[in-house]
Structures are given as structure tokens and as C-alpha cells.
Chains A and B, each alone.
Chain A
Amino acid sequence: MSKLRILVPVKRVLDYQLKPVLNAARTGIETQGFKFSINPFDDIALEEALKLESALPKGTVTTHAVSIGSNLQCRDILRNCLAKGIHDVTWINSGKYDLQPLAIAKILKQFVTQGDYNLVLLGKQAIDDDSGQTGQMLAGLLNWSQLTNASSVTVESDNITVTSETDGIQDQVLRASLPCVVTADLRLNTPRYVPLPKLMKVKRKPIKELSLEKDFSNVDIQSRLNIVSLNEPVVKKSGIVVGSVDELIAKLKESKVI
């Protein structure tokens, strides 16, 4: 079989356990003082890349993680990837630009073409905007096959087989040949912890940095969608306990239910 050259794009997002708070201008969420982590679905994709590497003959798999963003701490996320065992990482500094999934897919397309990868493994969606579009659009732009929402992945010669959970049918087994894009679902695996001794070793390692403006100047990153407004979910009013049937009937009448 040919060599498996895996690219894992990872996004830095607000920790999914935290409650997002809208900023004063209502154009986005507050970021100051909040914990950010790797998008959990990307973490699962990353784990799968590492698992594929250890499952296949030594030396036949290379792994590379890439993150696009303007925050310097994207590098910390990438360092964790290195510590977990990813061979190489790249940070694409997006500077002042706000990027939507289509733009991300176009940037990734160029990165994939230049880097000669044959498998892109990424989360099925990012938990901050829940768009769930990047993987599919990337496959379209590259004219590659796509296997989405994978809950198991196996590679045999140049074929890749994926199980995906769908509504209604229990499991759907799909096969495609490389090159291809695979998006990871929740039950694919449980990501490993970051081993500290390895993290210490990569601590001082410089992270390869590309600039969106300079290195991707030909890519059209224009937003096609305008965010009209962002609103917090409506808070449900809590119920009350009534003391008697009479009171219940009175309340129901009051609110014109009966």
C-alpha cells in the first residue's frame, strides 16, 4: 500500500463545559478569562490518527496537525498534539480576519495540495458555531471522497472503511479509496491524556508558523454570510408549587388556560 499521510485540522474553542457569554456589542462571545481547549471532535480525530499510526506497519504513516486562528495560544493546542505523538504541526496565523467554514476549507485545500496529504481526518463539527460544514466543503473543493460522522475507521491497502451512526438505520458501513476526507463522530474513541514528559520535551520547540496574509494570498477568504444577530437562549421561567386545588384553578383562570 502507499504511505498514509494524514492531516488533522484542529480548532481552538471555548471549553464545551462552560456557558458562553455574549460580549457587550453582541457580535461574539466573551473570551477574556475563559478556558479554551481543542474542539472535542477534533481531539477525537487526532486520537484516531494516532491509533491508525500504531495499528499500521511502522513507517507507513505520517501525521500532521494544523490549526488556523489568530490567538497565540493556538500554539499550545498544537504543542499538546506533538506531546500526544503527532509528528509535525503548523499554525496558520489568521491575523485580523474572521473566517467562516468556506474560507477555512479553501485555506485547508491549499495546505493539503501543497503538503501532499492523502487523508484528512477532522471533527464532524466545531462545538462553538456548530456549522458542521468544513469537512464536506473541503472534500468538494479537493474533489475527494468524503466519509462523514465516522464511529469506526479501518484502513486496508488503499481503501478506507468507515462506520457511521445514522438516524433510523443503526449502522452504515461505507468504503472509499484514498485520497479522502473523514469526519469524526463522538463514539469513535476516547482521546488520550497529554503525557507531561513528552510535553516538557516539546515545550521549547518552535511551532512552524504560516501567515494567512502572506502565504495564502491567493485564497478568497471573503465571508459569504453575514451574522445578523446573536442572542442568548430564552430563559425558561421556573414553575411554582401551588398549595391547593382551588389555588391551581384560580391560577389557571388567571392565565386564561381555562
Chain B
Amino acid sequence: MLSFVNYIKLCASRRSHLLTKTTFQRYGYSTIKLTSDNYPNLKRNDNFKKITSDDLAYFQSILTPQELIIAKDKDELNLYNTDWTHKYKGQSNIVLKPKSVDKVSLIMNYCSKERIAVVPQGGNTDLVGGSVPVFDELILSLSNLNKIRSFDELTGILKCDAGAILEDVDNYLKDKGYLFPLDLGAKGSCQIGGCVATNAGGQRLLRYGSLHGNVLGLEVVLPDGTILNSMHSLRKDNTGYDLKQLFIGSEGTIGIITGVSILTPTNPKSTNVSFLAVKDFKDIETVFKRAKRDLSEILSAFEFMDMKSMQLTKKHLAETDGSMTFPLENEHPFYILIETSGSNKEHDDAKMEKFLEDVMGDETVIDGTMAQDVTEIEKIWKWREMIPESCQSEGAVYKYDVSLPLSKIYSLVESTNAKLLKEDLLYDPVKNPSGPVIGAVGYGHIGDGNLHLNVAAKEYNKIIEKCLEPFIYEAVSELQGSISAEHGVGLQKKNHLHYSKSPVEIKVMKDIKNHFDPNGVLNPYKYV
């Protein structure tokens, strides 16, 4: 048995963070423009102090050398200054990586008093430029706070540090028969605290709901250094304001999450994954309706991908991982990934079988496969999870993550492509060989009405951006959707918040920000 397991480990999915590093090496940091050059309208707030040797001396007095990265480690600093999409690059000269909550508190207390701007950072897998500095803000990385504090095997309540990596926590829980209620492609790098701070969604949301429901308590260091501890393990607690909710999705603007208490579900014993093909988007709706009806309580994921997104992934995987053969023989306009999770294999198999017979019987589904073993389950998921990276592999990607009424979801991809074509930006080997855009692709979580619209391009440039924005935001607003379903606002969508929030809502958000952070030192220049 060993040889097989080892072999699979050998060619096992290389996690996003590893690949990110290789991509970085390929393009080099130098090609990534500074955010301050890209956005000349953004000005550094002169109320913020530039870090002096005295400040450095203070940080050195409370931190060990392992908890500090400074200017001489240029390459390492670059990793913290640059975002995953290669679109944003800050100029921070200092990264603090405290190993205790008390140190986080001391740092914040000092920075607040000294008016030093701070960007909290988790795994830095953010997609909207929220986790990297805009100018010279100090970077406070939570990666050294990575312990699991406790786990209650009876209730499934987990308490852990904010810097614990999602995949590590998930593996820890799986050993105990439980599961983290959140799963996403960046799981090998992203941290629990960052997931909570950005209210990350992901593939399990359909089944287990959002973090607003699963998080039971938080430990947060406020901008002035106060530690707000509400690490409860209570499912019911109606005693006043539910403060933790404010920090879920706050994107590090009003406090730094250092600890998380979360309710975890039991790990389903039986999992089935099938990969299906349909001829148009309407059929996806039909399949979804029938999946809800026939698979009901065991349905745990329903993802869709369009042909173009799979073509890009095919190309990218062919270059990086030879062991990945496409699950189907031919190409089709749309693909669906369905996952079921339950406690009884025979029962789940029977349901899945009946469902598949039904959708294939009348040819709603025209082709497909069902994973026969755990390896195939992982490989099929990888086809979905590698899309973001594949869209990026041509050089650049404009990412939009929107919520829309189900029936309207794909029309946005079509209208975006039409606009790109009209403005002569779309690459065509014959008609437009110098076109900078490969194309707009669509995929996402149908179950949650969440579309990921990715525009793959050869480079970032202002002409493409002008074509896409505010066009996409206006289209979403018109359809009463949300301009950010699960990625947050960060820097990218800062000026577009009004498409999804009313002036009154925005004012209340600003009031809350001012209450917690009157000096505005936490994650400045971002959405509030």
C-alpha cells in the first residue's frame, strides 16, 4: 500500500501558496507596479508617522528577532507587500510577527499612541488588495499565532489562534471525526483569523452556512490595544449586542482578530462527487432544481464552470501537472460539480444514482462522470479549485465576485465578453493578435447565487480596467446583486461600495469605524 500512497503524495496537488511562489519567480516582483503609482489619486495620510529608529528599538525590545522582518530582508518583505493577484504592492519596511496575543496588544497600543498605520495580515490570499499596505503601513502578520487552543469532542466546538492555517485545522478536526465548516481553494495558505475577518464563503457554505452563524466567539485586539475577549462556547447567548458579528467581515478595519471559537460539524462518512456537462446555462438551473429535490439533505456543493474556464485550466495544468487528465472525453458549454455528503454510503449512492438516471435520462445532462475513489474525488475538485490560478497564468486577472439572482448569473459573463469584443480588447490569433484580454470566464457557487467573473489578461492596464469598471458594478447594481459576494471590499471595491450599500448604511459603517479607531490607524485607505 505504501508505494501507492507515496506516489500520490508525490504528485498530490501542490497547494496554492507553493504555486504562487513559482508564479512570482516567473514574473518577478519587479514587474508588479507599486499601488501608489497605479493609483495616483491616493495620497499618503501625513498624520501617520513614518517609522523611526526609536520605534524600531521599541519593537525590538518586546519582540524576538524571529518575530521581526526589517528592510534588510528585501525578498521576504516583498512577500508581505505583494498581494496574491500581483495587482497591489505596498512599500512597508517592517513586518511584525508576534507570538502572543499580549504582544499584539502592546504593538497596537504603541501604534495607536504613535499614530503608526497598521495592516493586519493573515495568509495574504486576499483578492481585493485588503491585506497588503498601500504605502508604508506596518504589517502585522498573525502567522506566528497558530496554535489550536482546545477542542471539545462532544460539542464540536473548536478554539484556535487566528494564524492557524485552514488546512491544518481541517486535518486536525478530521482526525477527531469533525470538519471545519469552511473550505476554499486557498486552504493551504489562508488563516482562520483572515477567513473570519473577511467572512470568507467557499464551497461548503451551501451546506453549513456562513461564518456569521458558525462563529461562537472571538478574541479581538482593539486599535488601542485593549483585548476584547468573547471566546464563548455558547450556541445560545442573548445578552445584549452580539459584538463578534461586527468583526466578522470587518477586514481588519476595527480590530485584529487573534482567537476564534467556532462550531464544527461532524465529518460526513460518505462523500460522492460527480462532474457533469450540460449544453446551456438554463439546464444548470434545471439540474440544480432536481438536485435540491432528489439529493436534498445530502447535497453539499453545487458548482458550475463554463467552457472557457476549463480550457484555461486544462492549459495551465498541462504545463504544471501531467497527472491531471480531464474527466470527460469532449468539451461542453458548461460543467457542473455536484458533491454529496452523508452518513450512510448505501443511502447516498442510491440517491445519487436515482438523481443521475433522472437528469441523464431526458438528456438534460449530456455527459459526465462520477468519482470512483477518493483520488478521483480530489482530482475532480482540483479542476474546480485550479481555475483562479489558471486565469492568472497568462499574466493578469481581473476578479469580480458577485451575487446575482440565479437566472441572471451568466448573462453578466456574456455581456462582459460582448463589451470586450466591441472595444477591440479581446485576443484573437487571426483578427486581433495584439488583444490584451484572453477572455471573461464564469464559474462559481450556484447554490449561493455567487458568480466568479474572471477576466484573464496578459497584463494589467488602465484601458482594460476602464472597459470593465464601472460597467460590471453598474450591471450588478441594476440586477440588485452584490458587488462583493465573498471576497470583501478592500482597496479594489472601495469606490464602488455605493452600488451595493445605501448612503445611510455607509454612514453608519463610518461611525462604527470612528468609534473603535478614532485615529484611523487600522488598515487605512481601504473600504471605510
Question: Is the pair A203, B345 in contact by a Cβ cutoff of 8 Å?
Answer: no
The yes or no answer to B475 lying at the interface (CB within 8 A) is no
Distance of A130 Cα from B361 Cα, bound (Å): 41
Question: Is the pair B374, A15 in contact by a Cβ cutoff of 8 Å?
Answer: yes
The yes or no answer to B369 lying at the interface (CB within 8 A) is yes
Residues from 172 to 204 in A contacting B, C-beta threshold 8 Å: 186, 190, 192-197, 199-200, 203
Residues from 245 to 277 in B contacting A, C-beta threshold 8 Å: 269-270, 274-276
Q: Which residues of A contact B356 (CB under 8 A)?
A: 196, 200
Are A196 and B373 also in contact (CB < 8 A) when A40-B4, A186-B4 are? no
Partner of A195, one of B5, B328, B361: B328
Residues from 7 to 61 in A contacting B, C-beta threshold 8 Å: 15-18, 33, 35, 37-38, 40-41
The yes or no answer to A116 lying at the interface (CB within 8 A) is no
**Chain B's nearest CB lies how many Å from the CB of A157?**
30
Q: Which residues of B contact A186 (CB under 8 A)?
A: 3-4, 7
Are A194 and B372 also in contact (CB < 8 A) when A16-B1, A127-B1, A200-B357 are? yes
Q: Which residues of B contact A197 (CB under 8 A)?
A: 360, 366-368
Distance of A18 Cα from B325 Cα, bound (Å): 23
Are A37 and B373 also in contact (CB < 8 A) when A196-B356, A200-B356, A200-B360 are? yes
Question: Is the pair A190, B325 in contact by a Cβ cutoff of 8 Å?
Answer: yes
**Chain A's nearest CB lies how many Å from the CB of B24?**
29
Question: Is the pair A33, B345 in contact by a Cβ cutoff of 8 Å?
Answer: yes
Residues from 332 to 390 in B contacting A, C-beta threshold 8 Å: 344-345, 356-357, 360-361, 365-376
Are A35 and B373 also in contact (CB < 8 A) when A16-B5, A186-B3, A200-B360 are? yes
Question: Is the pair B276, A196 in contact by a Cβ cutoff of 8 Å?
Answer: yes
The yes or no answer to B327 lying at the interface (CB within 8 A) is yes
The yes or no answer to B323 lying at the interface (CB within 8 A) is yes
**Chain B's nearest CB lies how many Å from the CB of A191?**
9
For B, the interface residue count at a CB cutoff of 8 angstroms equals 34
Partner of B369, one of A33, A190, A196, A203: A196
Partner of A16, one of B4, B269, B323: B4
Q: Which residues of A contact B75 (CB under 8 A)?
A: none
Q: Which residues of A contact B325 (CB under 8 A)?
A: 190, 192-193
The yes or no answer to A128 lying at the interface (CB within 8 A) is yes
The yes or no answer to A93 lying at the interface (CB within 8 A) is no
Distance of A44 Cα from B251 Cα, bound (Å): 48
Q: Which residues of A contact B369 (CB under 8 A)?
A: 193-196
**Chain A's nearest CB lies how many Å from the CB of B328?**
7
Residues from 1 to 54 in B contacting A, C-beta threshold 8 Å: 1, 3-5, 7-8
The yes or no answer to A80 lying at the interface (CB within 8 A) is yes
Residues from 119 to 157 in B contacting A, C-beta threshold 8 Å: none
Distance of A130 Cα from B375 Cα, bound (Å): 19
Residues from 180 to 219 in B contacting A, C-beta threshold 8 Å: none
Q: Which residues of B contact A200 (CB under 8 A)?
A: 356-357, 360-361
Distance of A208 Cα from B4 Cα, bound (Å): 31
Question: Is the pair B368, A38 in contact by a Cβ cutoff of 8 Å?
Answer: no
Best-surrounded residue of A33, A186, A195, A196 (most CB of chain B within 10 A):
A196
Q: Which residues of B contact A199 (CB under 8 A)?
A: 370
The yes or no answer to B469 lying at the interface (CB within 8 A) is no
CB nearest neighbor in A for B6: A186
**Chain A's nearest CB lies how many Å from the CB of B17?**
23
Question: Is the pair A17, B375 in contact by a Cβ cutoff of 8 Å?
Answer: yes
Q: Which residues of B contact A203 (CB under 8 A)?
A: 357
Distance of A17 Cα from B4 Cα, bound (Å): 9
Q: Which residues of A contact B5 (CB under 8 A)?
A: 16-17
The yes or no answer to B478 lying at the interface (CB within 8 A) is no
Partner of A193, one of B3, B270, B328, B360: B328
**Chain A's nearest CB lies how many Å from the CB of B346?**
9
The yes or no answer to B237 lying at the interface (CB within 8 A) is no
CB nearest neighbor in B for A128: B1
The yes or no answer to B319 lying at the interface (CB within 8 A) is no
**Chain B's nearest CB lies how many Å from the CB of A185?**
9
Distance of A41 Cα from B365 Cα, bound (Å): 31
Question: Is the pair B367, A17 in contact by a Cβ cutoff of 8 Å?
Answer: no
The yes or no answer to B329 lying at the interface (CB within 8 A) is yes
Partner of B372, one of A17, A38, A130, A190: A38
Q: Which residues of A contact B1 (CB under 8 A)?
A: 16, 127-128, 130
Q: Which residues of B contact A17 (CB under 8 A)?
A: 5, 8, 373-375
Are A194 and B374 also in contact (CB < 8 A) when A128-B1, A130-B1, A186-B7 are? no
Residues from 120 to 177 in A contacting B, C-beta threshold 8 Å: 127-128, 130
Partner of A35, one of B8, B329, B374: B374
CB nearest neighbor in A for B329: A195
CB nearest neighbor in A for B7: A186
**Chain B's nearest CB lies how many Å from the CB of A126?**
9
Question: Is the pair B370, A196 in contact by a Cβ cutoff of 8 Å?
Answer: yes
Distance of A37 Cα from B5 Cα, bound (Å): 15
Distance of A80 Cα from B269 Cα, bound (Å): 23
**Chain B's nearest CB lies how many Å from the CB of A29?**
12
CB nearest neighbor in A for B359: A196
Q: Which residues of A contact B328 (CB under 8 A)?
A: 193, 195
Q: Which residues of A contact B376 (CB under 8 A)?
A: 193
29 contacts across the A-B interface (CB closer than 8 A) = A15-B373, A15-B374, A16-B4, A16-B5, A16-B8, A16-B374, A17-B373, A17-B374, A17-B375, A18-B374, A33-B269, A35-B270, A35-B345, A35-B374, A37-B372, A37-B373, A127-B1, A128-B1, A186-B3, A186-B7, A190-B323, A190-B325, A193-B275, A194-B372, A196-B360, A196-B368, A197-B360, A200-B357, A200-B360
Besides A127-B4, A195-B329, A196-B370, 4 new A-B residue pairs in contact (Cβ under 8 A), listed by A number: A35-B270, A35-B373, A38-B372, A200-B361
The 10 closest A-B pairs by CB, nearest first: A37-B373, A17-B374, A196-B368, A193-B369, A127-B1, A193-B327, A15-B373, A16-B4, A15-B374, A200-B360
Interface of B toward A, CB cutoff 8 Å? 1, 3-5, 7-8, 269-270, 274-276, 323, 325, 327-329, 344-345, 356-357, 360-361, 365-376
